[in-house]
Structure 1
């Protein structure tokens, strides 16, 4: 019986190697690419997580609302934004930001904040978004600059 158990264990070890190769990224170049992909995926999750919770906090404090949203009986926030639009935006943001020198990167953060502040007013006119009287669009301007900076720093920290 001991011999049978040894053979079974050896067989399972060989079987396990077929499904889980030891080196997914063998060369140094491939290792860097794998680390970059992992960092991008983790950053996408991080940005969606932060975006979702910030929306929940601001909607809960009645600073803004999403009159047009998916599953309004279940969600108080626009889940399409935090689960689809924000991840796509994060990927594009990281691709562009990686190619920029530091000064242009800072200008990109400012440009994004400006575009978000302006686009919010457009989305309000469409009825997708409403703000309380206490809300200033400068909150979005500065908020998105800080958000993009945090997303970038989180990505750089993971990519190292």
Structure 2
């Protein structure tokens, strides 16, 4: 009977494939984070639209929903998935820079979308608060940033 052993000085590495349970944990973590982001976005929209701070004049199913469900159930989960995917591959310092850049892009996109009439803010709304919010919310999603 021959037994093959790994030679210590060889550069050959064993398979880098992760065990199935680790992949399942990562998938579960992504799904739970996406659901969390969608719920936070939905409830914040319901709260802030109810308070009259902004509104969505053009939205799907406007006779049923006061918020834009296309954003909270479609766009927000997709953006969250991409953000988490990138954050998991960056060094901690680069993660801060990436979040800051994403926050700036979201801040600008919010004002641009308002210019297109996708939603309307009240005069009390401060876009700077959105900038801070976009930067802080992913901290809940990525434990490396704590």
- Counterpart of 1:117 (choices 58, 83, 107) is 107
Give the drift of 1:152: 2.2
Q: Which digits, 9 at most, give the CA deviation of each residue in 1:56-96, with x for residues without a partner?
A: 11111111111111111111100000111011111111110
Query: Superposition RMSD on alpha carbons, in Å?
Result: 1.5
Give the drift of 1:28: 6.5
**Aligned CA distance change for structure 1 residues 29 and 57 (closer, same or farther; 3 Å):** same
The 5-angstrom pairing of residues 69-148 of structure 1 reads: 69-148=59-138
Q: Secondary structure at the match of 2:65?
A: coil
TM-score normalised according to structure 1 size? 0.76
Structure having the larger proportion of residues in helix:
1
Instruction: Give distance in 2, aligned partners of 1:59 and 1:147.
Output: 19
Q: Which runs of 4+ in 1 moved over 4 A?
A: none
Instruction: Give distance in 2, aligned partners of 1:151 and 1:81.
Output: 19
TM-score normalised according to structure 2 size? 0.83
Unaligned runs of 5+ in 2: 1-16
1:48 aligns with 2:35: no
